[in-house]
Amino acid sequence: MIELLDPAEMAEADRLTIAAGTPGIVLMEAAGRAVADVAARSPLGTRIAIACGPGNNGGDGFVAGRILMARGYRLQLGLLGSIAALKGDAALAAAEWRGETLPLADLDFGGADLIIDALFGAGLDRPIEGPAAAAIAAINASKARVVAVDLPSGIHGGTGQVLGVAVRADDSVTFFRPKPGHVLMPGRAHAGRLTVADIGIRPQVLDAIQPRTALNRPELWLPHLPTPKVDGHKYDRGHALVVSGGMTQTGAARLVARAALRIGAGLVTMASPPDALAVHAAHLTSIMLKRMEGAAGLSELLADKRLNVVAIGPGLGPVDVSLPLVEAALASDASIVLDADGISAFREDPDRLFAALRKRSAPVVLTPHDGEFARLFPDLASLPGKLDRARQAAARSGAIVLLKGADTTVAEPAGRAAIADNAPPFLATAGSGDTLAGMITGLLAEGMPAFEAAAAAVWLHGDAGVVLGRGLIADDLADALPRVFARLFV
């Protein structure tokens, strides 16, 4: 598992390491050397400008400068503030620097081939203004390769938000573990290629820190991915029910159903309003079809306890149709994936949903995009950073909240969260979210724990986008799953 550490957790990792006997300057030396190594992928002769800030991020810049100068690079170093004002490890690092220290404003960014951004890292705590903002504008205007120390200056390590202005880096070199700000947008776009350097912090410090956020990678959920039993039966793999909208909007439910079956559900049944039965009958093959007369009809179907998960929301229709159906689903014992119109049904009264959720024991996964999220959690929608939004929404609702986008974040009520960075932008296409809902549904049907099922579906959906590439449409995503699994298990 790759943990993501926010600034407070990273400071604690540093503190525990120093308390256990490794001096801070030793960590800073290792950090500066790692930055120098990444910078030194550019050949000798490269003209380097190093912009140092007033804290330890700047200290790393002084160390990198000393090492690169010893390796024969031509370089200029500029400092925001005065050397006399530096403290602690940064002051020690600056004392070892033998070159000239220019005022930041005198650095010639335009004449540099490579810029090392050591202005601010984890200690950034307010919007950047004045000379630092001017330096960042000049860095972004230059044609130089930019290597950021820890984080691109201006990006908040915990939220990925831009505080004022932010450097656009080609490379970022961070230490020990990546930070949420490297994967959450727009931070990820600013960070460029990420290098995570070992600076001598022992992984055992994580036992004390107990980080709650991870990068969404297979190692997070693969141990929980169900494997069909050799002597298994289709009913061992679960039976999902997908609730369809009316005649003119049946496609979304079929995308859900196909993805649920492809990813591993043993059986999938489409619950269809009477007017849409003929449309579905013309399209469905391996997916079964049942007639559903309104909310009472759905409750009757769900009396069959073998139906262990319900997907409801995509193409479901306006609130007068959708709300009674969702309430019938919520009253059942099945796990639920609630998406799209099923979420919007509660826009007038989100507490009604939360109250129903509190009465359930089987899990519910909410899969909003930003617009749907704002309908259920209007006060949380403006929080900086998707991680906090998803985490607070999960705590409030008691559901697993999967907040979609380029940096889809899954959070559970107890606070555990996973952020994905593998989804290509081709996934922003009609019906792609319906397919994701279906993938979660299928994994829940197979009995995967809900947080892991949601995280796995997000990653597999993203990888299906990678496998298909440009030209993909939502109809292709489920059918790409065999190739995605083949890649996963090589």
Ligand X SMILES: NC(=O)C1=CN([C@@H]2O[C@H](COP(=O)(O)OP(=O)(O)OC[C@H]3O[C@@H](n4cnc5c(N)ncnc54)[C@H](O)[C@@H]3O)[C@@H](O)[C@H]2O)[C@@H](O)CC1
Ligand Y SMILES: Nc1ncnc2c1ncn2[C@@H]1O[C@H](COP(=O)(O)OP(=O)(O)O)[C@@H](O)[C@H]1O
CB of 56 to ligand X, least distance (A): 3
Q: Which is nearer to K ion, 117 or 421 (CB)?
A: 117
Q: Is 11 marked as binding a ligand?
A: no
What is the CA angle 102-139-122, rounded to 5? 85
Q: Which of 434, 446, 452, 463 binds ligand Y (CB under 6 A)?
A: 434
Q: Is 117 marked as binding a ligand?
A: yes
219: its two tokens: 């190692």
- Cβ distance 67 to 93 under 8 Å? no
* Residue 18 engages ligand Y in binding (rule: CB under 6 A): no
Q: Is 153 marked as binding a ligand?
A: yes
Say which entry of ligand X, K ion, ligand Y, none residue 117 contacts (CB below 5 to 8 A, set by partner kind): K ion
Query: How far is residue 260's CA from residue 460's CA, in Å, rounded to a whole number?
Result: 12
Q: Which is nearer to K ion, 162 or 390 (CB)?
A: 162
| Residue closest to 31 by CA, chosen among 48, 46, 16, 10 | 10
Q: Which is nearer to ligand Y, 104 or 406 (CB)?
A: 406
Of residues 355 through 394, those in contact with ligand Y by CB under 6 A are: 369
The Cα-based distances of 306 to 223, 240, 295, 442 in angstroms read 25, 9, 19, 14
Say which entry of ligand Y, K ion, ligand X, none residue 436 contacts (CB below 5 to 8 A, set by partner kind): ligand Y
Residues whose CB is less than 8 angstroms from the CB of residue 348 and which lie 6 or more positions away in sequence, other chains included: 319
Q: Which is nearer to ligand Y, 412 or 434 (CB)?
A: 434
Q: Is 178 marked as binding a ligand?
A: no
313: its two tokens: 């929301």
* Residue 341 engages ligand Y in binding (rule: CB under 6 A): no
Total of residues contacting K ion (CB under 5 A): 5
Give the binding range for K ion (CB under 5 A) out of 114-122, 182-190, 333-341, 478-486.
Answer: 114-122
What is the CA angle 268-244-473, rounded to 5? 80
Of residues 144 through 163, those in contact with K ion by CB under 5 A are: 148-149, 153
- Which amino acid belongs to residue 44? L
Of residues 57 through 76, those in contact with ligand Y by CB under 6 A are: none
Q: Is 60 marked as binding a ligand?
A: yes
CB of 7 to ligand Y, least distance (A): 26
* Residue 60 engages K ion in binding (rule: CB under 5 A): no
* Residue 428 engages ligand Y in binding (rule: CB under 6 A): yes
Residues whose CB is less than 8 angstroms from the CB of residue 171 and which lie 6 or more positions away in sequence, other chains included: 38, 145, 146, 147, 148, 192, 193, 194, 195
Helical ranges in 345-400 per DSSP H: 350-358, 370-376, 386-397
The Cα-based distances of 439 to 59, 304, 433, 459 in angstroms read 47, 22, 10, 10
Q: At what angle do helices 432-445 and 450-468 cross, to 10 degrees?
A: 140
Binding site listing for (6S)-NADPHX: 56-60, 121-127, 150, 252, 315, 369, 434
Q: Which residues of the chain form contacts with ligand Y (CB under 6 A)?
A: 340, 369, 404-406, 408, 423-425, 427-428, 430-434, 436, 461
Binding site listing for K(+): 57, 117, 153
Q: Which residues of the chain form contacts with K ion (CB under 5 A)?
A: 117, 121, 148-149, 153
